[in-house]
Amino acid sequence: MGDYNAYIATDTIEGTDDGPLAGRTVAVKDNISTKDVQTTCGSAMLDGYVPPYDATVVERLKDAGATIPGKTNMDEFGMGTTTETSAYGAVENPVAEGHVPGGSSGGSAAVVAAGDADMALGSDTGGSIRCPAAFCGVVGIKPTYGLVSRYGLVAYANSLEQIGPIAPSVEDAAELLEVIAGPDERDGTTRDATDHGSDYDFAAAADGDVDGLSIGVPTELLDGADEAVVETFWDAIDDLQAQGASYHEVTLPSVEHAVEAYYVIAMSEASSNLARFDGVRYGKSGGEGNWNESFAQAREEGFGEEVKRRVLLGTYALSAGYHDKYYKKAQDARAWVKQDFDEALSDADVLASPTMPVPPMKRGESLDDPLTMYLADANTTPVNLANLPAISVPAGETDDGLPVGLQLVGPAFGEKTIIRAGSALA
């Protein structure tokens, strides 16, 4: 195993003897519950917490014959873009020395890029599958909201997030998606793709056929992006064009508000979801004294700085007197973003952009500058606000040898379209 600090634990969980994933290893992000195996969310708060049940996706992996080689390191509770906020230390990028692997599923992308697992599961609230996939030169899919069960995923911002695959190729990612997708009575937000004009034959869609594909390029998602990233992006679009696809520019005027809206909604939901960590029910125990004192002590010691910042800001945004000013406004912006995507996709099969506007940052660079880190989510967060599916595939490298990802966004339950388009670049 490479020494990238990518695993928090390497307990092996065996699946059944046969099934579509028999003989293959699938690492699991440490915010996905595994029965009898510690699940920490990268937080000291959950050090030693052992769930009594499996997440639905873990049950499905076991039934499909996969072996889980361990639980992967991540930004604490999924809050970050670099996998440097984990209580278990930062993850290194195995393909770009001295740079971050992206986050928050940085451990999952790193083990796949380093060949320490065949595939991995991540979760994506505002880019956490696509960003590390892009920064580590592998493939990641953020499914349509409702395609994959969130039962057993420790919630960060539940209206935005989905579990999804990270893999070395589009075909492998599609195969893993096939195993984990589908309705689950324990998650009332799941939907059956067959009721929405699709089916579950995702791997078969990875046929590389882009003849006649219409690609919309939202100009706003190129504005402000790093020059080397934009250059690599256009090379990938040229490649798709040479294979029979066409492209035209489209506009998503609302996305200039997406990062703000995303962070208000994500922090608000986080402040509510993380209220359950009270030093009594899960993980870390509280201290002496009455309920308030013990609760405060557990949270003071158990949460890292980024988590505290978000719980405080989220609580503020939801409080009486400010709710309309912040939370409600963010919901209005979210509706507008959805509408813009619908419009752009009425006239294109997929929308393409760089996954991240910047190449992988140097390690340590963004920790003291949360605002710059939030702005790096400019191209990924709008997709979560709109609940749409997106894939990140390797587009090439900058002149300095840093990986660049291409993001393709499809209509709701349009996974097969983005898989087909993405596979043409492999």
User: Is 29 annotated in the active site?
Assistant: yes
CB of 377: closest distance to ligand GLN in angstroms? Answer: 5
User: Is 86 annotated in the active site?
Assistant: no
Q: CA–CA separation, 305 vs 166, rounded Å? A: 28
Of 77-85, 143-151, 292-300, 311-319, the window that binds ligand GLN (rule: CB under 6 A) is 77-85
Residue 15 touches ligand GLN, criterion: CB under 6 A: no
Q: Which one among 33, 128, 232, 392 touches ligand GLN, defined by CB under 6 A? A: 128
CB of 306: closest distance to ligand GLN in angstroms? Answer: 8
Residue 80 touches ligand GLN, criterion: CB under 6 A: yes
- Count CB-CB contacts under 10 A for residue 276: 11
Residue 357 touches ligand GLN, criterion: CB under 6 A: no
What does residue 342 show for φ and ψ, rounded to 5 degrees? -55, -45
385: which 2 tokens?
A: 């606000």
Residue 268 touches ligand GLN, criterion: CB under 6 A: no
What amino acid occupies position 88? Y
Which of 29, 62, 284, 416 is the catalytic position? 29
114: which 2 tokens?
A: 């380093």
Which of 104, 149, 268, 392 is the catalytic position? 104
Residue 83 touches ligand GLN, criterion: CB under 6 A: no
CB of 82: closest distance to ligand GLN in angstroms? Answer: 9
Residue nearest to ligand GLN (CB): 128
Residue 391 touches ligand GLN, criterion: CB under 6 A: no
User: Is 285 annotated in the active site?
Assistant: no
When the beta carbons of 93 and 128 are compared against ligand GLN, the nearer one is: 128
Residue 86 touches ligand GLN, criterion: CB under 6 A: no
Residue 79 touches ligand GLN, criterion: CB under 6 A: yes
Q: CA–CA separation, 30 vs 121, rounded Å? A: 10
Q: CA–CA separation, 270 vs 287, rounded Å? A: 23
Site for ligand GLN in 150-179 (CB under 6 A): 156
Residue 127 touches ligand GLN, criterion: CB under 6 A: yes
When the beta carbons of 70 and 78 are compared against ligand GLN, the nearer one is: 78
CB of 288: closest distance to ligand GLN in angstroms? Answer: 34
Which of 123, 128, 254, 392 is the catalytic position? 128
In the shown chain, the binding pattern of residues 296 to 335 toward ligand GLN, with x for contact by CB under 6 A and - for none, equals ----------------------------------------
Of 123-131, 163-171, 214-222, 247-255, the window that binds ligand GLN (rule: CB under 6 A) is 123-131
Residues that bind ligand GLN (CB under 6 A): 78-81, 104, 124-128, 156, 266, 377
Catalytic residues: 29, 104, 128
